[in-house]
Amino acid sequence: MNIRHNISLKNYNTFGIDVFAKHFVEATSVSDLQNIIKLDYPEKFLLGGGSNMLLTKSIDEALVVHVNIKGKEIIDKDDDSVYIKAYAGENWHKFILWCISQNYGGLENMSLIPGNVGTAPIQNIGAYGRELKDNFVSCETIEIATGKIKLFTKEDCNFGYRNSVFKTNLKGQFIITSVTFKLTRKNHITNTSYGAIEAELASMNIEKPTLYDISNAVIAIRQSKLPDPKVLGNCGSFFKNPVVSNSVFKKFKLNFPEAPSYPVSETETKIPAGWLIEQAGFKGKRFGDAGVHKNQALVLVNYGKATGQDIWNLAMTIKSVVFEKFGIEINPEVNIY
Ligand code: EPU
């Protein structure tokens, strides 16, 4: 185990924010991690793909632990399905491409989401009508306080919209080391009902899409709307779409009848934050090196030299202008340090 000092985290977070870790270590196996958590530091700061994190300052006290455990195993198989255990450090998109190449179905709508397998359950990642929880079976973790291995079933994880027990009740207490998925081997349950996917498949002249076709359609849509973090630093959606009660929604709809919305239950409705931010006049705007993406207002971007604080200040300005204009509160989806 090699503890390094004063390491720039610029290449470890997709926003490309240049802050430093005073103490940094990489874990490439579960036993590595078990040893690392025994080390005497006031705190351990876990870093996976760094795709859902805004770093506003250097990390001086905590030991930054880059979880980079690679590998995948088929743990069970029958005629219809396969159970695959993927380790935390596997790149999410590469893992999906491998699944598709094996004709294992279920994750294709979530192609090209940045980040790693091990952090995907924390916020129950999702896109185009599918969420991680739809194919999730369990995940293996290490409890930081005891070093013990603990298995979380789907029920234990208490998944919600961009949420799980790892973001709420048990925040910061467990490190996810692997995730087990159940995927289909035939009779794939594809979901192409999300408008943009249907249109993309139609433009590709595809009537009966394969897993590969769906993945390609999703990749094309994402590439047309969402910036590639390798080119323009970003963390995908910066804010969550607000979910409001019917009474709040009614008032809102009276004033803004043209706003898109999606019912989430009998009592609540989701309003796209991207629409609110665009209507508040921020889409495509740049403030120094921090900005709002020109094709998707929900995405904040770093044009190169923005600090985490610059991005945070912009986010808070957007939040307050949106609240003034619409009376609706929007909150970050990304983790802030
Ligand atoms: N909209 C605007 N202006 C914008 C962006 C969106 O008016 O600048 C409107 C669109 O016209 C549409 C609605 O808002 O009516 C929804 O837009 P979109 O389909 O692009 O999805 P989203 O709600 O903005 C969510 C996820 C994305 C995911 C897409 C597709 C959240 C916070 N974001 O975005 O996830 O890719 O749906 O499923 O739920 C991510 O989490 O990082 C992410 C990119």
Fold for domain 4-67? Answer: 3.30.43
Q: Determine the pLDDT at residue 238.
A: 97
233-336 and 4-67 share a CATH fold:
no
Q: Is 32 in the pocket of ligand 1 (CB under 6 A)?
A: no
Token duo for residue 96: 């999906």
Structure tokens of 233? 């630093």
DSSP 42: S
pTM above 0.85, yes or no: yes
pLDDT band at 1 (very low <50, low <70, confident <90, very high): confident
Q: Structure tokens of 38? A: 């025994």
233-336, CATH topology level: 3.90.78
Are the CB atoms for 141 and 156 separated by under 8 Å?
Answer: no
pLDDT of residue 195: 78
CB 260 near ligand 1, within 6 Å: yes
DSSP class of residue 11?
G
Measured distance CA(224)–CA(219) in Å, rounded: 9
Give pLDDT, residue 210.
Answer: 95
> Contact at 8 Å (CB) between 319 and 330?
yes
The burial class, CB within 10 Å (0-12 / 13-18 / 19+), for 230 is: exposed
DSSP string, 130-185: EEGGGTEEEEEEEETTT--EEEEEHHHHT-BTTB-TTTTTTTTTEEEEEEEEEEES
112 CA from centroid of ligand 1 (Å):
15
**CATH architecture of the domain with residue range 72-184:** 2-Layer Sandwich (3.30)
Q: Is the CB of 131 under 6 A from ligand 1?
A: no
The Cα–Cα gap between 222 and 24 comes to 33
Percent of the chain with pLDDT over 70: 100
Residue 194 confidence (pLDDT) above 90: no
What is the model's pLDDT at position 244? 97
Split at pLDDT 50, 70, 90, the class of 15 is very high
* CA-CA-CA-CA torsion sign (215, 216, 221, 225): positive
How far, in Å, CA of 185 to CA of 187, rounded? 7
Q: Which residue has the higher pLDDT, 207 or 23?
A: 23
Query: Which residue type does 275 have?
Result: W
DSSP letter for each residue of 84-116: EEEETTSBHHHHHHHHHHTT-BS-GGGTT--SB
What does the pLDDT average to over 115-129?
95
Per-domain boundaries in the chain: 4-67, 72-184, 233-336
Is the CB–ligand 1 distance for residue 123 below 6 Å?
no
Average pLDDT over residues 84-97: 97
Over residues 193-197, the mean pLDDT reads: 87
Q: Which H or E run contains 225?
A: helix 211-225
Q: Which two tokens stand for residue 324?
A: 């003034």
User: Annotated catalytic sites, by residue?
Assistant: 162, 237, 333
Ligand 1 atom with the smallest distance to the CA of 293 is 8
Q: Tokens 């979530």 appear where? A: 110
Question: With 0-12 CB in 10 A as exposed, 13-18 as middle and 19+ as buried, what is 31?
Answer: exposed
332 C-alpha to center of ligand 1: Å? 14
Among 102, 131, 299, smallest CA distance to 212 is for: 102
The residue contributing the CA closest to ligand 1 atom 9 is 275
Distance CA 186, CA 32 (A): 38
Mean pLDDT of the chain: 96
- CA 178 to ligand 1 center in whole angstroms: 28
Q: Mind listing the pLDDT tens digit for each residue in 196-239?
A: 899 999 999 999 999 999 999 999 999 999 999 999 999 999 99
